[in-house]
Structure 1
Amino acid sequence: MGYSNMMIMVFLAIAIAIVGFAEAQLKLGYYSESCPKAEAIVESFVHQHIPHAQSLAAPLLRMQFHDCFVRGCDASVLLDRTEAGNNDTEKTANPNLTLRGFGFIDGVKSLLEEECPGVVSCADIIALVARDSVWTIGGPWWPVTTGRRDGRISNETEALQNIPPPFSNFSSLQTIFVSKGLDLKDLVLLSGAHTIGVAHCPSFSERLYNFTGRGYGQDPSLDSEYATNLMTRKCTTPTDNTTIVEMDPGSHRTFDLSYYKLLLKRRGLFESDAALTKSSTTLSYIKELVNGPLETFFAEFSKSMVKMGDVEVLTGSAGEIRKQCAFVN
């Protein structure tokens, strides 16, 4: 082997070792020595509060999506703007104005700081709380690796650019997901989170009142009976920003297959929901889920959650461990 080829092999070996080391820093039981009770504290807090506030499970799960899609899973979605800051944070971006659960995360962080000051990241708290909240309401469980560190930057514009809006078409959804290392199957499965939770009228009212962009017209891909019901009983005006609507009517607190069944009936609430039926690939995934057992959905959803939880994480000496989740140290 020539010298140049040998050096290439050496550099490749070093690169592989570095990647392997970075991946190894995110692992199950990361806090087993530095804060042995960490995950039990999170689980206990969730089990204590979520049964009495089940509607909070959906926003806490949504919080992880919105965090991981902007700068990776680094808790940047939790940062508040400071007086010294020169830009608005992700919290102020339109997709995050209806996020709830920040106080819940702060409550968990407070307990962990009492137990192990400066050890457990806010990014890991988001991931653990999302999993435990879904599990508590009867949804799937998935293994959460830990070792994430918290980012120091949060930018409103980046949130607008990276969080898929509810009016996304199939092409834009695919582009955003691919940019995060997620495929079409992940798109279908992670959209399944819409089986729980609610939405505000402005996130879909254009489908009812202004689909042509000229102040009138209804989205033809939306079931007309469902659309009429939304207009007469829920969003009676297109600007109503106080009324909430179940994303999975009649089953919005149960983690089940109902959301996918509604998609096949053209009753997905958002344009982004309806977009999943426009591709033969994603439509096939939906039909497989609907025709299969609930356990299959749970298992596949769990795999996609694990995959999303690894998006662009900070580990090792990158980032920091915030003392307060809303502010950098």
Structure 2
Amino acid sequence: MASTKLLLLLFLASLSLSLTPSLSSLSTNYYQKACPQFNEIIQETITNKQITSPTTAAATLRLFFHDCILTGCDGSVLISSTPFNKAERDADINLSLPGDGFDVIVRAKTALELACPNVVSCADILAVATRDLVTMVGGPYYNVVLGRKDSLFSKASYVEGNLPRPTMPLSQIINIFESRGFSIQEMVALSGAHTIGFSHCKEFATGIYNFSKTSQSDPTYNPRFSDALRKACSDFPKNPTLSVFNDIMTPNKFDNMYFQNLPKGLGLLASDRAMYSDPRTRFYADLYAKDQNAFFEAFGKAMEKLSVYGAKFGKNGEIRRRCDAFNNS
């Protein structure tokens, strides 16, 4: 495990040394000549998918985050495991990634390969599909520059301890973000993504069952909310697929209700409630609860920054023929 973490640290260090000069090759109109139908195909694909599966926006946003925050926005989370390699998507924390996110990227890639073979990377598809789906459900529009290549590796062994978990102490989550160059404010803004989507009961079960000798639930929960959560998860762990919306007020709308819920004890995950209780993050949580425009502006800027983190260029990547497999596999 120690050697794996050392390899990851060295890899991330090499990214920071080589990232900045290559970013100049990215642009918002990168596919204007090589694939003029790019935006139209993305829009048609995500619209059809979101209409038939309303959880697609949240699923794709989560997929994007899990891809980018680990080793960069390079589509490595899309790779399927083989008998010779256990890929990122089969790491324990990624097993709960909703299928709608993977499916919409595959659909878009299939359509783009028909229109513009071997031109558009899966990493770029994921970045733009995420932005457009967030906008579709009420979130802010932000710029996404294009021209990334797809990664040449994907390893489950890199994941543990390097992706935020809802049960982690807030200090550990802050360290994960800061080690990648993201401020506490940017971390809080990105956490606002929990305004859409859902979490499985196993991710918050320790907070609602036998929390302590004196309390069944974590006292930072609103008591009525924790009672409702126990009812919603009454068949857990027998049924591990049980889940609850992250934002019980407006679960399918991207807004600032996630932050408004926190002072009321309606934060679903321990990491959510920590955003309000910890003095390092509370100022921003309060700000975004009171001012949706401030949240949208901060979220958009943080997503622009995240979308180029660890981007691959030249011989460090490839344009995959299919998003779930390397070209040489």
Establish whether TM, by shorter chain, passes 0.5: yes
Residue 209 of structure 1 aligns with an amino acid whose one-letter code is Y
Aligned residue for 2:107? 107
Residue 120 of structure 1 aligns with an amino acid whose one-letter code is V
Aligned residue for 2:282? 283
Distance in 1, matches of 2:280 and 2:321, equals 45
Aligned residue for 2:41? 41
**Do the aligned residues in 2 keep the contact of 1:206 with 1:238 (CA within 8 Å)?**
no
Residue 35 of structure 1 aligns with an amino acid whose one-letter code is C
- Residue 190 of structure 1, CA deviation: 0.7
* Bigger Rg, structure 1 or 2: 1
3-state SS, counterpart of residue 199 of structure 1:
strand
Aligned residue for 2:14? none
Residue 267 of structure 1 aligns with an amino acid whose one-letter code is L
- Residue 157 of structure 1, CA deviation: 2.1
Distance in 1, matches of 2:268 and 2:181, equals 26
TM superposition score normalised by structure 1: 0.88
Q: Does the C-alpha gap of structure 1 residues 20 and 253 become closer, same or farther in structure 2, counting only changes over 3 Å?
A: closer
Distance in 2, matches of 1:105 and 1:280, equals 39
Q: Does the C-alpha gap of structure 1 residues 136 and 19 become closer, same or farther in structure 2, counting only changes over 3 Å?
A: closer
Partner deviation per Cα, 1:228-278 (whole Å, 9 max, x = no partner): 1211x2012552412221110031101111110111112211111112123
- Residue 287 of structure 1, CA deviation: 1.1
Distance in 1, matches of 2:326 and 2:134, equals 28
Aligned residue for 1:4? none
Write the mapping of 1:100-179 to structure 2, written as runs, cut at 5 A.
Answer: 100=99, 101-179=101-179
Distance in 2, matches of 1:190 and 1:295, equals 14
Aligned residue for 2:66? 66
Distance in 2, matches of 1:267 and 1:92, equals 31
- Residue 26 of structure 1, CA deviation: 2.0
Aligned residue for 1:50? 50
Distance in 2, matches of 1:137 and 1:306, equals 18
Partner deviation per Cα, 1:172-231 (whole Å, 9 max, x = no partner): 11000112211111111111011111111001101111445x9x8432222222111211
**2:328 is equivalent to residue 321 of structure 1:** no
Distance in 2, matches of 1:159 and 1:126, equals 19
**Do the aligned residues in 2 keep the contact of 1:22 with 1:316 (CA within 8 Å)?**
no
Residue 276 of structure 1 aligns with an amino acid whose one-letter code is M
Q: Does the C-alpha gap of structure 1 residues 209 and 90 become closer, same or farther in structure 2, counting only changes over 3 Å?
A: same
Q: Which runs of 5+ in 2 are unaligned?
A: 1-17
3-state SS, counterpart of residue 161 of structure 1:
coil
**Do the aligned residues in 1 keep the contact of 2:276 with 2:286 (CA within 8 Å)?**
no
Distance in 2, matches of 1:324 and 1:166, equals 32
Partner deviation per Cα, 1:9-43 (whole Å, 9 max, x = no partner): xxxxxxxxx86641201221111222222122112
- For this pair of structures, how many residues does the alignment match? 307
**Do the aligned residues in 1 keep the contact of 2:287 with 2:294 (CA within 8 Å)?**
no
3-state SS, counterpart of residue 208 of structure 2:
helix
Q: Which runs of 5+ in 1 are unaligned?
A: 1-17
**2:86 is equivalent to residue 88 of structure 1:** yes
3-state SS, counterpart of residue 189 of structure 1:
helix
- Residue 295 of structure 1, CA deviation: 2.6
Residue 60 of structure 1 aligns with an amino acid whose one-letter code is T
Aligned residue for 2:228? 229
**2:306 is equivalent to residue 308 of structure 1:** yes
3-state SS, counterpart of residue 304 of structure 1:
helix
Runs of 4+ deviating beyond 3 Å: 18-21
Partner deviation per Cα, 1:138-177 (whole Å, 9 max, x = no partner): 2211111111111121111212222101112210110001
Q: Does the C-alpha gap of structure 1 residues 166 and 20 become closer, same or farther in structure 2, counting only changes over 3 Å?
A: closer
Partner deviation per Cα, 1:34-71 (whole Å, 9 max, x = no partner): 22221221122112331332211101010000000121
Q: Does the C-alpha gap of structure 1 residues 88 and 142 become closer, same or farther in structure 2, counting only changes over 3 Å?
A: same
